[in-house]
Amino acid sequence: MPRSLFCRCGAVYDADKLEEGKLYKCRECESLLSVENAVDEEELAVRQEEAIPKSGALISAVLILALALLGFAVAAFQVKAKADDARTKYENKVKSYEPLLKEWEARAKAIRIVDESEKRASSYMKKVFDYITRARKKVYPAVVRIFCTTTTGMAGTGSGCIFRPDGHEGRKDGYIVTNFHVVQNADILEVTLSNQETVLADCIYADDFCDVAVIKLKDPSKAENITPARFGDSDKIRVGDYCMAMGAPQGLGRSISLGIICGVNRYIVMPLGMHISHREHVFFQMDSAINHGNSGGPLVSLRGEIIGMNTLGWVQFQRVGYAIASNYEREIANEIVRNHEAGDQPFVDRSTFGLRFMLQKDLGIDWKTGAPVASVASDSPAYDAGIRPGDVIVRVRNTKTNEVFEPTAKELGDLARVNYIFEKNEVMTEFEVTWKDYITGEEKTATMTSQGTPAREQPRLTQAEDLWGAKLEVCTATDLEIAGFGDEDEGGFVIRSWAPGTKRLSYLPIAMRSIGLQRGDIIRYVDGVKPQTHWDMYRTIVSHVRRDQTRGTSTPVIFEVIRGKTKLYIPIMFQ
């Protein structure tokens, strides 16, 4: 039977062709083989069966290893691909952030600039506070509190400032400037100084027309250690400048509030009281807090100079105040002091044409230009030129400067500007005026020259107006309806009762009861002019008397009066 030599690696060799006693090396696995280990065909088949599984496991292992290597390679390739993709995305994202990064860098630079600006602002504010301190030292000691009392026991408080009039260098006379409405009804003036001294003062003159008054300490030596404040040039003040409002609000001690100038050249029509028109005033508007009692106190610049007088505060508007410009205040105060020291009556001479104006809407018109006339003084240049209430002035030319105005009165600010055009002039200023007649609509032109109207010492009037011994109240529509004249416009005054005693004005020493007027009379017109206020009636009569004195004549003042159900025209002679 043929024999075979079987190797453990599965290789088979023919033993019959091999020599006995020799060793042979397997060609597959190089194992040593001997013929002595030869087997017959049956045993060879058995051994081959046993070798097959071992060979398959090896192959399987090799295959598994190969697959594992392949999977690892694939995985490594995928990881690399993902890494490359992620890197690409990251690089693209970084590139997309480049504009944003540049913006952030710009912002960072801006922040650094802001920081430097803040440093500069901090340095600037330090300088501002230094200026405030210096300005306070210059003016604050001169600020006073004024306590006013009347013989009837009424009292009020205000503020003022010790000042040095022009030409008084080196002198301390105890002059104090304040508002007219602070001292208008005072019989006794007590001034509390910064050194806590309380000194009585006399009112030299208080002018309702400009709301400026000057009082003088009876004992100026009490203030000899106080340096008077100095006036600055209010024309140089600009919107946004810092300002300090000084005074004694609410009757308390002196105080300071800081703010800025919010507006210049403000024209305010709203009066503070029955007799204060403010039609000459040019105001500063500021947000420095002022309250009742601040009136008359100085508005101060950071240079330590008076640039205005705190005059008006509107409680309905938070932190809105107004101050009379110092150039105007200084001019009036100096004129009062000059006249006082010259031994003359310290009146303030001013120019007037005798006109008062109203808004276009009050006349029921809406024109591009035009200022309707509300009233005309009976002996005024405007009256002599032929202008009457209701006429509309459309053009004004100053014949000396040839300056032309086209006055317009649509809003309150316009109305004040129109008043300012006609009232703020030198005496003997000549205007060529063109107006439209209210009755015929005819356009007329005339020339008129302003006249001087020296202010006179005004009497003190209580809330229920006491004039020439009569209690006067404004005539209402109800009064006219009761009298049977309900179709007429309300206005004028009603004599409600006689005042206790007979109070007489120094300029016109008369009493209404003695000139034929009766209780219940409604005074509608005086010399053809409907009085808007009690002082309109007084000034109309005074103007009439002055005109008679100038012309050397004696003519009656015509009162248009409603008595009972009848309208009367009563001529009254004033001497």
Residues 6+ apart with CB under 8 A from 356: 373, 374, 375, 376, 419, 532
Say if residues 129 and 121 touch (Cβ distance below 8 Å).
no
Measured at the CA of 184, the angle between CA 179 and CA 186, to 5 degrees, comes to 115
Say if residues 227 and 101 touch (Cβ distance below 8 Å).
no
> Longest C-alpha distance within the chain, in Å?
186
Same domain, 304 and 363: no
The tens digit of pLDDT for each residue in 406-455 reads 999 888 767 767 877 887 677 788 999 999 987 778 899 999 998 876 44
pLDDT of the residue at 318: 59
Neighbours of 53 (CB within 10 A): 9
Decide: residue 102, CB within 10 A, 0-12 exposed, 13-18 middle, 19+ buried. Answer: exposed
pLDDT of the residue at 312: 81
Say if residues 302 and 287 touch (Cβ distance below 8 Å).
no
d(CA 410, CA 418): 11
The two tokens of residue 19 are 């020599």
Within a domain: 54: no
- Find residue 148's DSSP bridge partners: 156, 189
pLDDT of the residue at 433: 95
d(CA 330, CA 337): 11
pLDDT of the residue at 50: 61
Percent of the chain whose pLDDT exceeds 90: 20
Closest CA to 259 of 238, 243, 236: 243
The 8-class DSSP code of residue 227 comes to P
Same domain, 382 and 487: no
**What confidence tier does 278 reach under pLDDT thresholds 50, 70, 90?**
very low
The tens digit of pLDDT for each residue in 117-154 reads 667 777 777 888 888 999 999 999 999 999 888 766 66
d(CA 199, CA 73): 110
Same domain, 418 and 333: no
Within a domain: 125: yes
For residue 515, pLDDT over 60 is answered with yes
Q: Which is more confident, 376 or 501?
A: 376
pLDDT of the residue at 104: 78
Within a domain: 30: yes
Same domain, 393 and 341: no
Same domain, 294 and 229: yes
Within a domain: 73: no
Whichever domain contains 390, its CATH number is 2.30.42.10
Measured at the CA of 166, the angle between CA 163 and CA 172, to 5 degrees, comes to 45
Say if residues 180 and 207 touch (Cβ distance below 8 Å).
yes
Find tokens 């030409």 and name the residue.
Answer: 167
Q: Which long-range contacts (CB under 8 A, 24 or more apart) does 166-169 make?
A: 166/330, 166/334, 168/337
**Between the CA atoms of 428, 432, 434 and 439, what dihedral angle is there, to the nearest 10 degrees?**
50
- What does the chain come to in residues? 575
For residue 508, pLDDT over 60 is answered with no
Domain range holding 281? 109-348
31: amino acid identity, one letter: S
**Between the CA atoms of 516, 522, 527 and 528, what dihedral angle is there, to the nearest 10 degrees?**
-150
For residue 304, pLDDT over 90 is answered with yes
Within a domain: 548: yes
Neighbours of 92 (CB within 10 A): 10
Say if residues 332 and 166 touch (Cβ distance below 8 Å).
no
For residue 362, pLDDT over 50 is answered with yes
Within a domain: 414: yes
Same domain, 338 and 392: no
Same domain, 361 and 320: no
Query: What is the rounded average pLDDT of the residues 380-399?
Result: 89
pLDDT of the residue at 200: 92
Q: Which is more confident, 515 or 308?
A: 308
Least confident of 1-5, 46-50, 73-77, 549-553: 46-50
d(CA 377, CA 365): 24
Query: What is the rounded average pLDDT of the residues 368-381?
Result: 83
User: Catalytic positions, please?
Assistant: 181, 211, 295
Strands (E), 326-422: 351-352, 355-357, 371-376, 392-398, 404-405
d(CA 363, CA 366): 9
Percent of the chain whose pLDDT exceeds 70: 79
Say if residues 23 and 32 touch (Cβ distance below 8 Å).
yes
Same domain, 153 and 242: yes
d(CA 242, CA 134): 14
Same domain, 115 and 261: yes
Within a domain: 272: yes
The tens digit of pLDDT for each residue in 3-60 reads 776 677 767 777 777 777 777 777 777 777 776 766 666 666 666 566 555 555 667 7
Same domain, 184 and 119: yes
d(CA 47, CA 221): 147
Query: What is the rounded average pLDDT of the residues 385-409?
Result: 91
d(CA 451, CA 356): 15
Distances in Å between the alpha carbon of 186 and those of 183, 189, 272? 5, 7, 17
pLDDT of the residue at 575: 59
Whichever domain contains 255, its CATH number is 2.40.10.120
Helix (H) or strand (E) holding 381: helix 381-385
For residue 186, pLDDT over 90 is answered with no
Say if residues 526 and 538 touch (Cβ distance below 8 Å).
no
Reduce the DSSP state of residue 280 to 3 states and report it.
coil
d(CA 535, CA 467): 10
For residue 551, pLDDT over 80 is answered with no
Distance from first CA to last CA of the chain, Å, rounded?
184
Least confident of 81-95, 130-144, 181-195, 456-470: 456-470
Distances in Å between the alpha carbon of 466 and those of 128, 186, 533, 563? 51, 16, 13, 20
Within a domain: 375: yes
For residue 524, pLDDT over 80 is answered with yes
Q: Which is more confident, 37 or 308?
A: 308
The count of domains in the chain is 4
Last residue of a domain, one of 307, 324, 348: 348
Same domain, 256 and 140: yes
Same domain, 425 and 565: no
Reduce the DSSP state of residue 454 to 3 states and report it.
coil
Computed over every residue of the chain, the mean pLDDT equals 79
Last residue of a domain, one of 348, 378, 400: 348
The tens digit of pLDDT for each residue in 217-243 reads 999 999 989 999 999 998 898 999 999
